Amino acid sequence: MSKDLTTPMLLSQPHRRYNALSGEWLLVSAERTNRPWLGHEEFPQPDDLPTYDPSCYLCPGNVRANGERNPRYDSTFVFTNDFSALRPDSPAASFSDGLLRAESERGECLVTCFSPRHDLSMSRMNAAQARAVVDLWSTESESLGRRFEWVQVFENRGSAMGASNPHPHGQIWAGNARPREAEREDATQRRHFEATGHNLLIDYAQQEADGPRDLGSDDDWLVVVPFWAAWPFETLVIPRRPVSRLPDLDDRARNSLANRLIGLLRGYDELFDEPFPYSMGWHQAPFDGIQRPHWQLHAHFYPPLLRATVRKFMVGYELLSEPQRDITAEEAAERLRSAINAADPAVAQPGG
């Protein structure tokens, strides 16, 4: 179990931290948030959205860009992305010329609407509504996993993270190639398991529980600002028991996850008193029929904001050398815990 940090280096001095999940290092430069800022500022998206927007291509009954009309859905809704990055009918092909290599990739891209309400982000949902989203992620992962090896569930929230529509929604992309992040995390988790006989992220969850970076976990889930966080208010969500994929979550774990996500996201919105932008995604074991006892399901949340209107840019040193953060993970966790505790538990809209 983690203890309070007393090492001055970790509290206030520039230092590097090791990311046990990616196998990479990052630079921590505490107190750089005090520097003056004259660069680009982000402005929050409106918080007074209507429950229904006739011009929104994701609202029930509306026509999408391809001319198809959405059903008048009353819970969650899934459809094939009208502008998919992957297609299931791409012809098999490859190219190789010395150092130049390319190969075709088949796949499928889905849009997942979390609610028929245009204004109901997950941070405003009640437990039943959030549980429906968890079930949606699980059901679609299982279905896509029958045909594709890698299933990536993710959500971009807010224009600062490239979301093209404020309607609460995410995406699922599936393909047969295992992407870079999957390869890294498979390798680090496998090495730890082969060396210790233990699951890396379960060991990490046990070490972090009730520590200075814990954001309010329960018996089923750890929610934490990871020791190695690169983004200012990055968080990691990990089941406390062995589970490799979203479809493997039992009823209790799904209910608990819904509540943990609501608490975290309300805390994010409370932090700067605005709808908080982020990219989040689930990393689950490949659906290739191979048992991977070393792989633990987990979700990453990558919010960009360092201050209310100032985002963290991964540029310069970060692009050319290694990630760098401006506040310690411990300070970020303390601020997030305070925001989570201060968030209004009745923020979900009546009748949503």
- The CB density around residue 176, as the number of other CB atoms within 10 Å, is 15
Q: Which of 118, 167, 169, 283 is catalytic?
A: 169
Q: What are phi and psi of 223, to 5 degrees?
A: -120, 120
Q: Taking the CA atoms of 323, 307, 168 and 142 in sequence, report the sign of the dihedral they define.
A: positive
SS3 at position 162: coil
Could you tell me which of 208, 115, 128, 111 has the C-alpha nearest to residue 163? Answer: 111
Residue 73 to residue 110: CA distance in whole angstroms: 16
202 domain-assigned = yes
Rg for the chain (alpha carbons), in Å?
Answer: 21
254 domain-assigned = yes
Residue 113 to residue 168: CA distance in whole angstroms: 6
Give the sheet arrangement for strand 24-28, strand by strand. 15-19, 24-28, 324-325
Query: Which helix H or strand E contains 22, and what residues bound it?
Result: none
Residue 268 to residue 140: CA distance in whole angstroms: 27
129 domain-assigned = yes
Helix axes 251-271, 127-145, angle to 10 degrees: 120
| Token output for 189 | 């988790």
Q: 170 pairs with which residues across the strands? A: 112
267 domain-assigned = yes
Read off the pTM.
0.93
Residue 223 to residue 238: CA distance in whole angstroms: 7
Report pLDDT for 44.
63
318 domain-assigned = yes
349 domain-assigned = no
Domain carrying residue 248: 19-29+51-342
Residue 339 to residue 223: CA distance in whole angstroms: 14
Query: What single DSSP character describes residue 195?
Result: H
Q: 137 pairs with which residues across the strands? A: none
The tens-digit pLDDT sequence of the chain (352 residues) is 445 554 666 777 899 999 999 999 999 987 665 554 444 555 566 678 999 999 999 999 999 989 999 999 999 999 999 999 999 999 999 999 999 999 999 999 999 999 999 999 999 999 999 999 999 999 999 999 999 999 999 999 988 888 889 999 999 999 999 999 999 999 999 999 999 999 999 999 999 999 999 998 899 999 999 999 999 999 999 999 999 999 999 999 999 999 999 999 999 999 999 899 999 999 999 999 999 999 999 999 999 998 877 888 888 999 999 999 989 999 999 999 999 999 867 555 434 4
- The predicted-structure confidence for 252-293, as pLDDT tens digits, reads as follows 999 999 999 999 999 999 999 989 999 999 999 999 999 999
CATH number assigned to the domain comprising residue 313: 3.30.428.10
Q: How many domains does the chain have?
A: 1
156 domain-assigned = yes
169 carries an active-site annotation:
yes
14 domain-assigned = no
- The CB density around residue 272, as the number of other CB atoms within 10 Å, is 15
Residue 271 to residue 345: CA distance in whole angstroms: 15
